[in-house]
Amino acid sequence: MKDREYPNQMTKLLMERASCRSFSEEKIPPDVLRLVLEAGTHAPNGWNLQPYSIIKIENDETKQKLAEMCGQGFISQAPVLLLFCIDWYRVERWARLSVAPFTATRSFRHFWISFQDTILCAQNLCTAADSMGLGSVYVGAVVEFLADVRDMFQLPQGVLPVVLLCLGYPKTTRPQPQRKLSVDVIVHSERYREMEDQEIIDAFGEKYHGQELEITEERLETITEVCREVHGEEFARRCLARIDENGYINRAQRDFGLECRADSMLEGNERYLGLMEEFGFDWFEVEDEIAELHHAQVGESNVEIIKGSRHQKIIGDFGENLICNWLSRSGFEVALVDHTGIDVVAYHPPTKQRLGITVKSRTRDVGKQDESVNLLSYQKVKSDRVKLSDACNAFACEPWIAVYVETPEYADVYLTSLENFDREYRGGKAKSIDTWKMTKKYKERYEQDSNVKHIRIEFHATNWEWFG
């Protein structure tokens, strides 16, 4: 692509742009950085409100903390980091001082456009940086640590981190741009065009040519687990058969079965809804606090699961409080804790035992009662297991795990030490995510294991019908 002729330098710059993850120690001159920042602030945005802020980070200690948090060492090497945030706090203050009505943090439309505006600002700035000879790379992993980032940079309510940009002069020659899907694939004339199956295979095959991944036993085990969790046993067999037929793991299987795992990417949705509320964004709340109802029929039973719009967060809180309740009934002194890694701390005076418990709560509809519960993930970012260990060290307690799974007619609560889980249920091979199995076979094992505490709660609705 670099031998191609372009009509001007701007087109060349856009066509040959590539992420830079290796930076020299050369500092960015203040006037250059100022100009690049100004270019960002001149990006197009809705109503010219500019509902975003940029946190400029040059402190070495802060950069190192972010690098460790995100699990990406190059972050600490960049001379400048820029954290792009949606910022309705500033706009709300302006509206209040101007005696104007304001509901942006409660409006999905405002959230939607402010997210676009923030990304447009970042890309405008990124393009300006490239034109000045700088290199850059986006880091999206900050989404895993929104609360930590908020505390680190003292962000007020109404300010939400979106993406981190590393900026600096490339250490060596600029990296080659990656192959992209062609215009013929991306652009549709007048209406959306459905591509033939072979067209899609050929387009992605050309883009990812030569990126086949070697088959290993560990990779096969992980992909099987992901496929089984997301689409069931039959799909898992089909996936393994395709891998065997090809003699390698293809790019789609690698992306969604190993790296951006299709099962783990579903986890934490309720946590993010809770974080939205913590950050001052409650556009997902239904007007007048009337819950949007989702009905799940349960076969021959008359019981229904009726989920309000905040049910995911509510069940998370309920699971934690239920664990506290049963431990308290068993003589423990307990407390809910707002700490990354654990949800409950419990102390047993007779034995002096102190537990640090991470609680996972899930709702399972009929037909899905046997689905596993994801416990501890091992992403490129700081793993859940490390977070649990760090939190337990901070509170001087033993790491434990609790699982609350409710169905329309009953709920199961399990509690065991991490040590027992590792010894009896995790298996010896390294995995990218630990799961709590809910199949009949495993439930029978839990019942026979004195180190797994178990409670079953049955739901009997004698007069609980709502009409309208």
pLDDT digits (tens, 9 = 90+) for 99-151: 999 999 989 999 999 999 999 999 999 999 999 999 999 999 999 889 899 99
Q: How many CA atoms lie within 13 A of 240 on its CB side?
A: 19
Q: Is the pLDDT of residue 296 over 80?
A: no
pLDDT at 430: 52
Give the separation between CA 11 and CA 125, rounded to whole angstroms: 16
**Cβ contact 144:381 at 8 Å:** yes
Q: Is the pLDDT of residue 5 over 60?
A: yes
Give the separation between CA 313 and CA 75, rounded to whole angstroms: 33
pLDDT at 309: 54
Question: Which has the higher per-residue pLDDT, 266 or 170?
Answer: 170
| pLDDT level of residue 290 (50, 70, 90 thresholds) | very low
pLDDT at 159: 96
pLDDT at 136: 96
Identify the bridge partners of residue 48 per DSSP, sorted by sequence position: none
What are the pLDDT digits (tens) for 170-196?
Answer: 998 777 889 999 999 999 999 999 999
Domains and CATH numbers, the chain: 9-168 (3.40.109.10), 194-265 (no CATH), 288-458 (3.40.1350.10)
Mean pLDDT of 420-434: 75
Mean pLDDT of 362-389: 76
Give the separation between CA 381 and CA 63, rounded to whole angstroms: 15
pLDDT at 431: 55
What are the pLDDT digits (tens) for 66-105?
Answer: 999 998 999 999 999 999 999 999 999 999 999 999 999 9
| pLDDT level of residue 307 (50, 70, 90 thresholds) | low
Listed in sequence order, the DSSP H helices in 89-212 are 89-97, 108-131, 146-153, 183-186, 197-207
Question: Which has the higher per-residue pLDDT, 2 or 207?
Answer: 207
| pLDDT level of residue 321 (50, 70, 90 thresholds) | very high
pLDDT at 166: 97
pLDDT at 288: 41
**Cβ contact 300:391 at 8 Å:** no
Tell me the average pLDDT of the chain: 87
pLDDT at 420: 94
Give the number of residues written for the chain: 468
Question: What percent of the chain has a predicted confidence (pLDDT) above 90?
Answer: 64
Least Cα distance to 253 among 231, 229, 220 occurs for 220
pLDDT at 287: 44
| 261-270, 293-302, 330-339: segment of lowest average pLDDT | 293-302
pLDDT at 247: 96
